[in-house]
Structure 1
Amino acid sequence: MKNHTSVQLVNHIDSYFYQMLSECLNKNIVVQTTNNPVQGKLTQVMPDYIVVTVQRTPFYIRMEKIVWITKSSYREE
């Protein structure tokens, strides 16, 4: 008899944080991740990740890696 195990992924979504991020869509932000800060335009918000575009390069950042976010005066040239 084979023993089958199932894997269930669980992702907690903070609706207030998601709403705040949605309000920052297409604005310049700084995102402090657990590794490094990323500064650019917030171009996409999904329940489990965001996309910050820096000089036409998209950076996909998982929500659980975000420490803090603030608005930025960054302007892409």
Structure 2
Amino acid sequence: MQAQNLSSSGAKATTPARNLVATAIIGAAFIGYLVHKTPESRARLESLSQMANTLGELSETDAAVVAQLLAKPFTRGESQNA
């Protein structure tokens, strides 16, 4: 039996780079924290960013943005620009 080759004109599955996946997941957690401002959303953002940083998948710039946000203790209903 011979294996059949698929046509190269068809759609192919692609796998995004790990750093892009990490950025997307942390971005979702970042937005979740900005919207909800709960201890749970903060803990999620902290743990995800720490994990990505440990794995080397978080850029220094992205890590600085997350650190800057987490340095400000927000309470629910408080404006970010305050």
Question: Same fold by TM-score, threshold 0.5 exceeded?
Answer: no
Higher strand share: 1
More helix by share: 2
Q: Which has the larger radius of gyration?
A: 2
TM-score (norm 2): 0.24
